[in-house]
Amino acid sequence: MVSLLYKKLSPTTLIYFGGAGCLNTFTGPSQYIDELLETGLVDYHVRGDGEHSLYELLTGNNTFSGINSLTWQEMTNDELAKIPMPDYTNYNFTMYEKKVLPLLGSRGCVRRCTFCDYIANWKKFQWRTADDIFNEMLTQHRQYGLSNFKFQDSLTNGNQKEFRKLCKLLAKYNTTNTVKFKWSGYYIFREWSNTSLSDWEMIHQSGAENLMVGLENLNQDIRFAIGKKFSNEAIELHIEQAYKYGINLQLLNIVGYVNETEEHIVYIKQWLDDHVKYKSMLYIQWGGTLGIFPNTHLEQNKEKLGIIMIGIQL
């Protein structure tokens, strides 16, 4: 409606738009976008991260990747480090019950889960250094007086070397300052190793409060089929350490993966009964039934896997 009014008032004004709200799914075509472009209500659609394509569009290069196209150019690690810090000068933080500043430490993911269209959108995992992230936290804290941060990326510990370094920087800060840094974000479980105990101690000292883990399923064989290759035993050990240090865990699950049976559901029910002791810090979330999204492994192998799409066009 806004585009229609603008076009009536100023037919020669160029209108371009973008963002997740324009898309039916994370990747693939969008009927909504196609119709707006065909009717002339908008002139350009910018897909993906706009740092490259929006600049090119503003300088007159309207054929650059990411402009009215399904593909776009991802940013490199060096380019991520050059993005200016967000400016919250006009925010009235007194209006917020919980005052938290967002952070972006990476784009993409190190996993290759069969259902995930996130990795189809960001094909390569890109990350910022621990020093760069820590510097942003310090700068934002000094400017706004806030010490609680929420990582917005899909995982905080994709690059383990940089994650451990960041935890050490935060732990050192927290031991030498009265106001402690706190943080939350997405976290991935890995198979238990000889560094896991020290990792959890560092995570605790760094100020971690809430970790959201893409578990996908409490059954080991389903997780392995999805691409999450960590054992049931590893889950137990990770949960026990989070419980020990008072770190809340939110375990994200999918209902109805392609090889899930009634027996798997029975196992999940029993697992919940067996882990009641963790109810103070453990939140189990089932976000919905399995979705088959464009450009994912499931969509590309649906016939082989016996997946039948009914009433849906991809």
User: What pLDDT, in 10s, does the model give residues 297-310?
Assistant: 999 999 999 988 87
Do 99 and 222 belong to one domain?
A: yes
CA angle 116, 103, 204 (to 5 degrees): 90
Domain presence at residue 7:
yes
SS3 call for 290: coil
**Residue 190 confidence (pLDDT):** 97
Domain presence at residue 65:
no
Sheet holding 148-151: strands in order across? 101-103, 148-151, 182-187, 208-216, 248-255, 282-289
Do 124 and 268 belong to one domain?
A: yes
CA 197 to chain centre: 25
**Residue 151 confidence (pLDDT):** 97
Domain presence at residue 46:
yes
Compute the distance between CA of residue 203 and CA of residue 194 in angstroms, rounded to an integer. Answer: 16
Domain presence at residue 305:
no
CA angle 149, 131, 182 (to 5 degrees): 20
Kindly give, in sequence order, each residue whose CB lies less than 8 Å from that of residue 94, ignoring residues fewer than 6 positions away.
none
Domain presence at residue 71:
no
Q: How far is CA 126 from CA 83, 84, 92, 152, in A?
A: 13, 17, 32, 14
Regions of the chain with pLDDT less than 70: 1, 311-314
Do 127 and 269 belong to one domain?
A: yes
Domain presence at residue 23:
yes
Q: Are strands 126-127 and 106-107 parallel, antiparallel or unpaired?
A: antiparallel
Do 43 and 159 belong to one domain?
A: no
Do 43 and 81 belong to one domain?
A: no
Total domains in the chain come to 2
> Which residues form the domain of 151?
77-300
**Residue 111 confidence (pLDDT):** 93
Do 25 and 107 belong to one domain?
A: no
Compute the distance between CA of residue 314 and CA of residue 312 in angstroms, rounded to an integer. Answer: 7
pLDDT, tens digit (0-9, with 9 covering 90-100), for 221-232: 999 999 999 999
Do 141 and 10 belong to one domain?
A: no
Do 195 and 88 belong to one domain?
A: yes
**Residue 311 confidence (pLDDT):** 61
Classify residue 130 by burial, with Cβ atoms within 10 Å: 0-12, 13-18, 19+. Answer: buried
Query: Is the Cβ–Cβ distance between 75 and 121 less than 8 Å?
Result: no
**Residue 314 confidence (pLDDT):** 46
SS3 call for 60: coil
Do 257 and 121 belong to one domain?
A: yes
Do 160 and 30 belong to one domain?
A: no
Do 126 and 224 belong to one domain?
A: yes
Compute the distance between CA of residue 121 and CA of residue 107 in angstroms, rounded to an integer. Answer: 10
